[in-house]
């Protein structure tokens, strides 16, 4: 709902209230009427037009100069009808029959025509009021001037505020559109990171190991990997890549200090791809564009257990851990990305443990390994170098689910990644950024 909807509703209430006040003034000064039946006819016409104008302005396509012109014509006609209905004494006790009701048309002009149009309407009202009093040979009092000044000021203020509100609404729409594009780009970056970049990194490494012509191919693949990393990282939201939950080297009593996960940021290797099922969104590819739908609830245990192997142990509750399809797919992809970092950056044969905890208000997954741990500042360096393993494949996914990620690491003793997401459907794209502690 735009700003104009409550504004026009307020104008409708104002018209109705001023119509009632005009009725009160007519009753109070009934003795000063020359032709009461004319006055009552004018009041009835004002009531009919109040209903018509309320209906007309409620529809955006009708808010044009045509309706506004008709609105002003009716207001001025009811005003000049005072000459046929009342005596000169009436104008010394009350405003013309349309009186305060006329302001409804003036305020509508302020929104449709702007401040200048509103100012012109207010001045025309003052000129018409003076003309009416001259024609009826009625006294011109200080109240006449005050009424014109108040109408002029009110119209100018409403016109200005309507313009400011319209500009604010337009800028807000642009900001929402920009945010939606950034979120789409983040998801695309994750998809590229979990597919193309891992292949380029593998080709670069194997080429360097093979030597000869393969080394040149590996060198070219490495260059393309660097360029692609810079491309997908450019323009993404920046911030503290480690956050509140970043690795805290040497943290005393750190839970799982003997084990941890995802020793260092890097390109996902073959482990994540091997355990992923693109059809269910249960792997890294599941977090790419097109995976943001919410199907029937799925059991997170089944998707996480795909990572189980001789070196990866998975512990999960005995009962199903049901989550919306998108939430389960993205959470499983983040877990697989963390395990892939273990395979990529820890010594061969490093053990890892995955613990799935089902809580009333959310789900927590802990990934721990017994690798060398994360060196202080390594996550910040990886983020600055355009590596997206932790920043996007893990933190980005969990952030979009409204969850948090915490890294706890002791150099030489392993790392633990604790991922927690709330229950329910994840926030919609293009909405406000979910709150998080990182």
DSSP β-bridge partners for residue 359: 362
pLDDT tens, 159-208? 888 888 888 888 888 888 887 777 777 777 666 666 677 777 778 778 88
Please report how the helices 65-80 and 36-57 are oriented relative to each other, as an axis angle in degrees rounded to 10.
170
Q: H/E/C letters for each residue in 42-55?
A: HHHHHHHHHHHHHH
Q: Nearest CA to 426 among 389, 397, 393?
A: 397
Is the dihedral angle over the CA atoms 187, 191, 194, 199 positive or is it negative? negative
Neighbours of 395 (CB within 10 A): 29
- Which has the higher per-residue pLDDT, 92 or 281? 92
- Neighbouring residues of 284: CB distance < 8 A, sequence distance ≥ 6: 190, 191, 193, 194, 195, 268, 272, 273, 276, 333, 336, 337, 340, 393
Q: Which range (56-70, 122-136, 176-190) has the least confidence?
A: 176-190
Identify the band that residue 410 occupies on the pLDDT scale cut at 50, 70 and 90: confident
pLDDT at 171: 84
Q: Quick one: average pLDDT of 50-63?
A: 90
- Decide: 421 and 363 in contact? Cβ < 8 Å: yes
The 10 Å CB-count burial string (b at 16+, else e) for 73-91 is ebbbebbbbbbebbeeebb
Residues linked to residue 369 through DSSP beta bridges, in sequence order: 352, 415
pLDDT(6) > 90: no
Give the SS3 label for residue 268.
Answer: coil
Token pair listed for 314: 């998975």
Confidence class for position 63, pLDDT limits 50, 70, 90: confident
- Average pLDDT of the segment spanning 228-234: 63
Question: Which two tokens mark 260?
Answer: 């941890």
Q: For residues 202 and 80, what is the distance between their CA atoms, to the nearest angstrom?
A: 87
Q: Which two tokens stand for residue 193?
A: 């990171």
Kind of pairing between the strands at 414-422 and 362-369: antiparallel
Q: Can you give the length of the chain in residues? A: 438
CA pair distance 136, 305, nearest whole angstrom:
92
Which residue carries 């959310």 as its tokens? 362
pTM over 0.75: no
- CB atoms inside a 10 Å sphere around CB 276: 27
Residue 282: which H helix or E strand, with range? none
H or E stretch covering 250 = none
Q: Is the pLDDT confidence value at 222 over 70? A: yes
Biggest CA–CA distance in the chain, Å, is 112
Q: How far apart are CA 356 and CA 166, in angstroms?
A: 49
**pLDDT tier at 252, thresholds 50, 70, 90:** very low
In angstroms, how far is the first alpha carbon of the chain from the final one? 32
Residue 33's beta-bridge partner residues? 86
DSSP state of 33: B
Does residue 8 contact residue 57 with C-beta atoms inside 8 Å?
yes
Task: Quote the CA–CA distance of 431 and 417 in Å, as a whole number.
Answer: 27
């Amino acid at each position: 709902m735009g700003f104009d909807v409550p504004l026009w509703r307020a104008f409708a209430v104002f018209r109705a209230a001023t119509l009632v006040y005009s009725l009160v003034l007519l009753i109070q000064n009934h003795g000063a009427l020359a032709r009461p039946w004319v006055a009552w006819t004018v009041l009835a016409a004002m009531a009919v037009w109040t209903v018509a104008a309320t209906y007309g302005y409620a529809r955006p396509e009708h808010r044009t100069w045509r309706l506004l012109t008709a609105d002003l014509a009716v207001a001025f006609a009811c005003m000049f009808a005072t000459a046929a209905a009342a005596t000169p004494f009436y104008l010394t006790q009350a405003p013309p029959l349309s009186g305060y009701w006329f302001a409804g048309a003036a305020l509508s002009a302020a929104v449709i025509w702007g401040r200048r149009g509103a100012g012109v309407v207010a001045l025309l009202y003052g000129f018409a009021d003076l003309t009416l009093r001259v024609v009826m040979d009625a006294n011109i009092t200080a109240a006449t001037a005050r009424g014109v000044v108040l109408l002029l000021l009110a119209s100018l203020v409403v016109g200005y505020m309507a313009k400011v509100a319209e500009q604010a609404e337009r800028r807000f729409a642009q900001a929402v559109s920009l945010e939606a594009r950034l979120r789409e780009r983040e998801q695309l970056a994750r998809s590229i990171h979990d597919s193309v970049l891992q292949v380029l990194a593998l080709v670069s490494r194997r080429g360097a190991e093979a030597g000869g012509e393969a080394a040149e191919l590996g060198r070219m693949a490495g260059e393309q990997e660097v360029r692609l990393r810079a491309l997908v990282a450019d323009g993404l939201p920046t911030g503290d890549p480690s956050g509140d939950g970043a690795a805290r080297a040497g943290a005393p009593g750190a839970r799982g200090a003997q084990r941890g996960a995802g020793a260092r940021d890097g390109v996902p290797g073959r482990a994540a791809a091997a355990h992923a099922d693109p059809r269910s969104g249960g792997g890294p590819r599941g977090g790419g564009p097109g995976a943001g739908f919410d199907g029937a609830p799925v059991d997170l245990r089944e998707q996480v257990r795909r990572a189980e192997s001789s070196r990866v142990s998975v512990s999960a509750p005995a009962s199903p851990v049901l989550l919306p399809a998108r939430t389960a797919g993205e959470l499983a992809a983040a877990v697989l990305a963390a395990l892939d970092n273990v395979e990529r950056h820890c010594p061969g044969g490093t053990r890892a443990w995955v613990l799935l905890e089902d809580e009333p208000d959310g789900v927590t997954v802990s990934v721990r390994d017994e690798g060398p741990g994360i060196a202080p500042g390594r996550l910040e360096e990886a983020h600055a170098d355009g590596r997206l393993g932790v920043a996007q494949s893990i933190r980005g996914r969990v952030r979009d689910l409204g969850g948090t990620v915490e890294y706890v690491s002791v150099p030489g003793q392993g790392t633990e990644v604790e991922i927690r997401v709330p229950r329910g459907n994840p926030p919609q794209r293009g909405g406000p950024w979910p709150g998080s502690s990182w």
